[in-house]
């Protein structure tokens, strides 16, 4: 195959996982090409301008003190995420409560007088013997300890916020592993440029280390020779370009990645596994603005019993740059039922709107900037946590990163950064 240019590494997609991988590869000396079909970086963690408002198109907050921030520190890139204090309040019984320092005990104590049983179950989960079997959902596990509707509502909204599925669809083992053994997203914040801000910095890392980022471009096929990827055909702003490469990292999801190689290249058993794991989640986000300050919470306000509303983010409290002067910018999100199957978009959106009218005084006078339904090809997460594929593929120099190949019991952009770290570590062992 004649190639127009050669690269050490080709990264397909400039989303969170793709850019974390690309920046790491470039930083380690591999000449790296990133190909992104959209006109901006960030993927489902990007930001658009709507009449001067910086509106995120997916991820709304980024973790502090975790693998994402560690990635930036390793690369010498500016993270720039600001932390609200407190980061989260819980609205319980009409009051916004700060449980910082109190943890599960304080939260459950505000919900029910019988929280000790739930605490006992959470405590048991800190030991392997206390984790429930894989088939049990979070809702089913919680029902063993309490029937309290407020407790169930808070747990569902926690599942929705982190994993983009309700407690009725998320394995209890995933929920408990995350909240007892991982960072559990306790520290997070927003960027004054919107979520795209940090990913613009990662794109700079790629460029400064001899790599390139091609926007408005799409990989249309991968060339496999003797069982390894040797190059790709790319539609670059309407022109067909061929590139050679030694390794490929895909951030477009395992299902889409399989479609880039000739039929028969990948074994049937792998294709069956990919099809089974292709279970994208769903989320509905209402972006709205107001001249009046509608929330006291400086960061994220999470809810107990609602129809569908899981949380509202108050961006301009610490990032006033995200809105024109004198405006306050918010994003409210909820997860439909079901999150992984067919649902009525109009009816599910209406439920969130009803919640917003109930929970936010002055919402009827707010300006609705957009209502985004993330699902199918543009989901909040490409796989339900606990059912992810491994990043490696049967082609030894073709890897997946992102939220379709998460490590067990992780989610969101944090999981994307983690997969990038793991995959690049494996690549460096072989190619550096």
pLDDT tens per residue across span 263-276: 999 999 999 999 99
Lowest mean pLDDT among 126-135, 185-194, 269-278: 126-135
In this predicted structure, the answer to whether residue 195 has a pLDDT above a threshold of 90 is yes
Cα atoms in the Cβ-side hemisphere of radius 13 Å centred on 411: 29
Give the pLDDT mean for 77-106.
Answer: 92
CB of 275 closer than 8 Å to CB of 268: no
Assign 124 a pLDDT band (cuts: 50, 70, 90).
confident
Report the mean per-residue pLDDT for the chain.
95
Predicted pLDDT at 2: 56
Lowest mean pLDDT among 102-116, 150-164, 215-229, 293-307: 102-116
In this predicted structure, the answer to whether residue 1 has a pLDDT above a threshold of 70 is no
Nearest residue to 258 via CA among 109, 393, 390, 162: 393
Nearest residue to 20 via CA among 83, 48, 62, 57: 62
Token reading at 186 = 């306790």
The alpha carbon of residue 344 and the mean position of all alpha carbons in its chain are separated, in whole angstroms, by: 23
CB of 21 closer than 8 Å to CB of 41: no
The whole-angstrom separation of Cα 36 and Cα 208 is 18
Give the pLDDT mean for 322-331.
Answer: 98
In this predicted structure, the answer to whether residue 406 has a pLDDT above a threshold of 80 is yes
Q: Domain 281-374's class?
A: alpha beta
Bond into 164 cis (ω within 30): no
CA distances from 169 to 84, 175, 285, 337, 348 (A): 30, 11, 20, 9, 17
Range of 92-96, 183-187, 290-294 with top mean pLDDT: 290-294
Q: What residues does CATH 3.50.50.60 cover in the chain?
A: 5-80+194-278+383-431
Question: What is the value of pTM for the model shown?
Answer: 0.96
The alpha carbon of residue 407 and the mean position of all alpha carbons in its chain are separated, in whole angstroms, by: 13
Nearest residue to 428 via CA among 18, 15, 24, 71: 24
Predicted pLDDT at 227: 97
Q: What residues does CATH 3.90.660.50 cover in the chain?
A: 281-374
Please give the share of the chain, as a percent, with pLDDT higher than 70.
Answer: 98
| Coil vs helix vs strand at 17 | helix
Burial 265-289 (b: 16+ CB within 10 A, else e): ebeeeeeeebeebbbbbbbbbbbbb
Token reading at 42 = 């960030």
More confidently predicted of 115 and 32: 32
Lowest mean pLDDT among 3-12, 47-56, 210-219: 3-12
In this predicted structure, the answer to whether residue 332 has a pLDDT above a threshold of 80 is yes
CATH superfamily of the 5-80+194-278+383-431 domain: FAD/NAD(P)-binding domain (3.50.50.60)
Give the pLDDT mean for 108-136.
Answer: 84
Give the pLDDT mean for 382-391.
Answer: 96
Q: Which residues pair with 303 in a beta bridge?
A: 91
């Amino acid at each position: 195959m004649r190639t127009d240019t050669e690269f050490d590494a080709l990264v397909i997609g400039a989303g969170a996982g793709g850019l974390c991988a690309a920046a790491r590869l470039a930083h380690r000396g591999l000449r790296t090409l990133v190909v992104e079909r959209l006109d901006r970086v960030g993927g489902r963690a990007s930001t658009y301008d709507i009449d001067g408002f910086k509106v995120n198109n997916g991820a709304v907050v980024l973790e502090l003190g975790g693998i994402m921030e560690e990635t930036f520190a390793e690369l010498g890139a500016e993270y720039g995420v600001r932390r609200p204090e407190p980061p989260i309040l819980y609205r319980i019984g009409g009051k916004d409560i700060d449980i910082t320092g109190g943890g599960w005990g304080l939260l459950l104590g505000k919900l029910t007088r019988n929280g000790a049983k739930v605490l006992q179950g959470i405590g048991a989960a800190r030991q392997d013997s206390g984790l429930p079997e894989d088939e049990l959902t979070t809702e089913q596990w919680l029902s063993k300890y309490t029937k309290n509707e407020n407790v169930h509502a808070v747990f569902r909204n926690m599942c929705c916020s982190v994993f983009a599925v309700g407690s009725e669809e998320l394995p209890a083992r995933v929920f408990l592993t995350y909240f007892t053994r991982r960072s559990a997203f306790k520290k997070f914040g927003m960027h004054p440029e919107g979520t795209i801000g940090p990913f613009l910095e990662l794109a700079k890392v790629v460029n400064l280390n001899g790599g390139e980022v091609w926007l408005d471009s799409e990989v249309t096929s991968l060339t496999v020779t003797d069982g390894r990827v040797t190059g790709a055909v790319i539609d670059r702003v309407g022109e067909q370009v061929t590139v050679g490469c030694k390794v490929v990292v895909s951030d477009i999801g395992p299902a889409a990645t399989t479609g880039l190689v000739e039929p028969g290249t990948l074994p049937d058993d792998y294709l069956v596994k990919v099809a089974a794991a292709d279970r994208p989640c769903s989320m509905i986000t209402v972006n709205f603005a107001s001249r009046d300050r509608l929330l006291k919470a400086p960061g994220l306000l999470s809810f107990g019993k609602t129809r569908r509303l899981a949380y509202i983010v108050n961006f301009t409290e610490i990032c006033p740059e995200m809105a024109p002067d004198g405006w306050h910018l918010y994003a409210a999100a909820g997860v439909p039922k079901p999150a992984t199957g067919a649902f009525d978009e109009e009816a599910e959106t209406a439920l969130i709107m009803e919640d917003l009218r109930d929970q936010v005084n002055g919402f009827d006078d707010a300006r609705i900037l957009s209502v985004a339904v993330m699902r199918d090809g543009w989901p909040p997460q490409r796989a339900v946590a606990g059912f992810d594929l491994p990043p490696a593929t049967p082609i030894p120099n073709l890897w997946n990163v992102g939220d379709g190949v998460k490590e067990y019991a992780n989610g969101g952009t944090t999981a994307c950064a983690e997969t990038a770290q793991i995959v690049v570590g494996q690549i460096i062992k072989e190619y550096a």
